[in-house]
Structure 1
Amino acid sequence: MLQATLNIKHNINIKNYSKLIAFLKRKNDGHVPKKSKTLEIEQVEKFIREAPDEDYLLMKTVLIIGMCAACRREELTKMTIEDIQDRGDVLIITIPDNKTKKPRTSCMTEPTWIKIIQKYKHLRPPLVQTQRFFVLFRK
């Protein structure tokens, strides 16, 4: 990363400086990169089961759709009402304009998760101007 930054910003190729490379390698010795913290499936299920809907319905809905459909932040933002089709015991989620430019679909069959998404969808105010699925929701 340092090499690329110096090359782009200052047009300096550090491969020509062998002593500098050796120094940087010595300084890097023993460095342990930090591991990102991730949620375990048990933690997700506990949150969805125990957190009150009055306070956390939006977060639950975003978590469920983001996890089941493997959505990026921008994909969740661009998701519209038409992208989520309710077929009773199955939800079909169409992921809009994504990074790879290829549309994706995902199916959800977990009944408790479907009920949470349906509850969020039914609480949507009728006079909202935007067609986005996720709108500001407070209690």
Structure 2
Amino acid sequence: MNKEFLMIKVGLILGIAGACRTDELVNLTVDDIQDVGSSLIVKIPNTKTKIPGIFVVTDVGNMLELFRKYLSLRPPNVKHKRLFLYYKAGKCSSQPVGKNTMGKIPSVVASYSAVTEDAGVAITTIKPHAGWKSTTVAEGYVENSIENKTKIANQVLVGTTTSAITKTVNVS
């Protein structure tokens, strides 16, 4: 299944973990991601809100393994640093993935998934994670540390993507 959907899985993982917009994923570079062993620290330098974002992807399921596998397929002759490359039959080309391809990820995943449950993550957790503006003043006081982002990443990824990614991984 990774032979066909590895790029989609990595896009889904990063997109959900960071509440990323399509253009934020398209513009991610290999330099924006720091692999610290037990997690990834991802920086989004250019956001719609003009406030750089940062989020953490923890090793829930095999998410880090999927990311590392995808990164290892990067051809040595790629002259740009964009993370997402065109992927087919288990190989990456040097051509970067565009906004339209990235934007289709949710519909591809939805075609293999029947996830309808609420993830159980409170809006006060999601809003600062996603960089959204107010609902109440209290939401502005959520700590913006790597530790807090790791906790949020675990909540978001376990509640939302584990079943979707597992179903996508297990589809033959």
Query: The TM-score by the shorter chain falls in which range?
Result: 0.5 to 0.7
Instruction: Tell me if 1:128 matches 2:78.
Output: yes
* Separation of aligned partners in 2, 1:75 and 1:66: 9
The CA deviation at 1:134 is: 0.5
Q: TM-score, normalised by structure 1?
A: 0.61
* Separation of aligned partners in 1, 2:5 and 2:79: 24
Contact 1:78 1:96 in 2 (8 A): no
Candidates 57, 62, 68, aligned match of 1:118: 68
* Separation of aligned partners in 1, 2:72 and 2:32: 15
The CA deviation at 1:96 is: 2.5
Partner of 1:89: 38
Paired-residue identity, %:
39
Q: Aligned Cα RMSD in Å?
A: 0.9
List runs of 5+ in structure 1 lacking aligned partners: 1-51
Q: TM-score, normalised by structure 2?
A: 0.50
Candidates 80, 83, 90, aligned match of 2:29: 80
Q: Deviations over 1:46-82 (max 9, x none)?
A: xxxxxx1001001001000000011001101110001
Partner of 2:56: 107
| Larger fraction in strand | 2
Structure 1 segment 35-46 matched on structure 2, within 5 A: none
* Separation of aligned partners in 1, 2:18 and 2:64: 13
Instruction: Tell me if 1:64 matches 2:13.
Output: yes
Number of residue pairs the alignment of both structures matches: 88
Contact 1:68 1:108 in 2 (8 A): yes
Supply the AA of the counterpart residue of 2:34.
Q
List runs of 5+ in structure 2 lacking aligned partners: 90-172
Q: The residue matched to 1:137 in structure 2 has which SS?
A: strand
* Separation of aligned partners in 2, 1:66 and 1:96: 15
Higher relative contact order (CA 8 A, sep 6+): 2
The CA deviation at 1:95 is: 1.2
* Separation of aligned partners in 1, 2:39 and 2:69: 15
Supply the AA of the counterpart residue of 2:9.
K
Supply the AA of the counterpart residue of 1:131.
K
